[in-house]
Structure 1
Amino acid sequence: MALSKVDAIAVGGFDGMHVGHQHLFEELGENGAIVVIETGYANLTPGCERERYSHYPIVYYSLEEIRHLEGAEFVDMLGKKFPRLRKIVVGYDFHFGKNRRYSHADLGQLFGGEVVVVEQVCIGGDSVHSHKIRAKIQIGDIEGANRFLGHNYRINGTVVRGQGIGKTDLVPTINLECPGYLLPYEGVYAALTRIDDEEHFHPSVVFVGHRVSTDGSYALESHILGENIPECRRASVSFVKFLRKNRKFESLDALKKAIHDDILAARSELLHLSL
């Protein structure tokens, strides 16, 4: 959709595109768009990854480039970008302009159209915020993070060479580098892995952390359950459930036995999913 047709926008950082954010997007109507203010700290949905979670067009502004603007200048900037703008949707804690001195109350005075303020969204009595999702991911509460997100936490990466013992001594894995993303707590996860541009996800068991039983290096590696792993250049991992903490094994045989148990646990967790 051409920006000249946009008559409603939601403005915010929108890292994660979580349940709370989706409540803002529900106010946009047919000709809406999303305005992302990039702070440089987004690591749940860095860059254009937000576009996976909304059908609305997204326009990006760098905070560094607009942080000097006074309130009226900020509103004027939006009006020039969206000449038919009639509605601005923001969260209850939205601030903007130089030194963040302007709130949604000021927006209502500066903007000639409608301002919709969406109140905080709670799940289980706890308000949904990106920083809380990050905290859950960092302690391994991936299910809690996914509830707040409204979707599985997903990271994308480039396939790299591993340590070389998977196929010969353990199980074959896809090894990923995922710059820009918050990586989960070290351990083993039931997950879904998408390869290159395939439309479907494969049930997987994923390890995140230092290979304390072998070379000590940090890795994110996915083993696809019951399938041969094809050659690929990129992959996406969608985390479903935390299975166990990272720990050291005294031999490759002991590690291989643990991986076998992890595979059984992951298969059990993923059995009910429609892939």
Structure 2
Amino acid sequence: MNVIYLDKEYLTDEHYALALGFFDGLHQGHLALVDEVKKIADEKHLKSAIMTFDRHPLSLLKNEKCQSLISSNDRIELLADMGIDTLFVIRFTMDVAKLSPQAFIDQYLKHVDHLVVGFDFHFGHKNKGDVSSLSHQHFEVSVIAPIMYDEKRKVSSTLIKELLTSGNVEEANRLLTRPFSIRGEVVHGKKRGRTIGYPTANVDFDSYYVIRRGVYGVRVKLNDSVYYGMGNVGINPTFNELSNDLLEVHIFDLDEDLYGKTIKVEFIKFIRDEKTFSNIEELKLQLKKDEEQIKKTLTITKYSI
């Protein structure tokens, strides 16, 4: 897949079927747009493309810390796996934010023959542009209806975050069509786990959405190998040593120095909430129970997602 970062208009002789949006999560709702783009590109002999931004607009416009379901690199990898030809990434600046809907179209959509958007799509200065703004342009438009979760709620990144906050990882994974995951470099921690027989690989959440604190059954990908383990999300209250949430992963059947290496941790099953233990022995006993429960659970579910 060709990845093109846009600071201004892009000059090319190619013609595209293109979906436009932020695509935080690439969940069922977003995949409906991706599938439509691929179908139209095939029917009309166009290049398939996605256009998005390098950061969430609110992170600039309102200085909000935006936690995402996927990173920029995740998005690139997933779209490439889906067979998209080109990903356009607009570098979002105040100048871009000030573009009127028509100016945005003129600057970024010159080579689009067919545009695909969601029913609630908004764009341009102060989100003044909507689906009606796309009529009478040089391209055809397909507006995709929402994928509904129930009678009142559509599948959305907000809904998936709510599920992850409640600990309902399996339902969140179903809407994502893959396990919620965090990819990051293994960093040095306090090395407490090693002293009690449960060494952990520690990964900072960085810009990922911080899910419910607690213990999870996880799948870990390192290079071309796949392992299973138990992950803890939280601040390790028994030792009271952390000020920010950290992901600590004890990987089954792996004894290797992982510092500085990048791993991908997929969350499969929520086991229990994080809790404070009165002593080390009580903690070790609980970790043993967690390990037994997770191994039993993953034996059942590891091929189901």
TM over 0.5: yes
CA distance in 2, matches of 1:6, 1:140: 44
- Is 1:60 aligned with 2:89? yes
The aligned residue for residue 23 of structure 2 is 14
Q: 1:49 Cα deviation (Å)?
A: 2.1
Q: 1:4 Cα deviation (Å)?
A: 4.2
CA distance in 1, matches of 2:67, 2:284: 36
* Structure 1 residue corresponding to 2:105, chosen from 75, 84, 106: 75
The aligned residue for residue 262 of structure 2 is 234
Q: What is the DSSP-based 3-state SS (H/G/I as helix, E as strand, rest coil) of the residue aligned with 1:128?
A: coil
Letter in 1 for 2:282: A
- Is 1:164 aligned with 2:191? yes
The equivalences for 1:89-238 within 5 A come to 89-109=116-136, 111-125=137-151, 126-195=153-222, 198-217=223-242, 218-232=245-259, 233-238=261-266
Contact 2:191 2:199 in 1 (8 A): no
Letter in 2 for 1:49: D
> How many aligned positions are there?
269
Contact 2:205 2:246 in 1 (8 A): no
Identity of aligned residues (%): 26
Distance 1:48 1:219, change over 3 A: closer
Q: What is the DSSP-based 3-state SS (H/G/I as helix, E as strand, rest coil) of the residue aligned with 1:146?
A: helix
CA distance in 2, matches of 1:200, 1:119: 39
Cα distance per residue 1:20-72 (max 9 Å; x no partner):
00000111134211101332335111323211222223211244341211122
Distance 1:139 1:4, change over 3 A: farther
Q: What is the DSSP-based 3-state SS (H/G/I as helix, E as strand, rest coil) of the residue aligned with 1:223?
A: strand
Q: 1:101 Cα deviation (Å)?
A: 1.0
Letter in 1 for 2:79: S
CA distance in 1, matches of 2:125, 2:150: 35
Structure 1 residue runs without a partner (length 5+): none
- Is 1:270 aligned with 2:279? no
Contact 1:204 1:222 in 2 (8 A): yes
Q: 1:173 Cα deviation (Å)?
A: 0.9
Contact 1:187 1:246 in 2 (8 A): yes
Letter in 1 for 2:34: F
Contact 1:184 1:208 in 2 (8 A): yes
- Is 1:243 aligned with 2:294? no
CA distance in 1, matches of 2:32, 2:227: 30
Distance 1:188 1:76, change over 3 A: same
Contact 1:162 1:175 in 2 (8 A): yes
Q: What is the DSSP-based 3-state SS (H/G/I as helix, E as strand, rest coil) of the residue aligned with 1:179?
A: coil
CA distance in 2, matches of 1:201, 1:93: 39
Question: TM-score, normalized by length of structure 1?
Answer: 0.90
Runs of 4+ in 1 over 6 A off after TM superposition: none
Cα distance per residue 1:53-107 (max 9 Å; x no partner):
2222321124434121112211111234xx3x21000000001111111111111
CA distance in 2, matches of 1:135, 1:144: 11
Structure 2 residue runs without a partner (length 5+): 3-11, 60-65
Contact 1:6 1:33 in 2 (8 A): no
- Is 1:33 aligned with 2:33? no
Q: 1:145 Cα deviation (Å)?
A: 1.5
Question: TM-score, normalized by length of structure 2?
Answer: 0.82
Letter in 2 for 1:163: K
Contact 1:158 1:178 in 2 (8 A): no
CA distance in 1, matches of 2:73, 2:229: 25
Letter in 2 for 1:20: G
Which stretch shows the higher mean deviation, 229-238 or 254-263?
A: 229-238
Contact 2:186 2:258 in 1 (8 A): no
The aligned residue for residue 5 of structure 2 is none
- Is 1:252 aligned with 2:280? yes
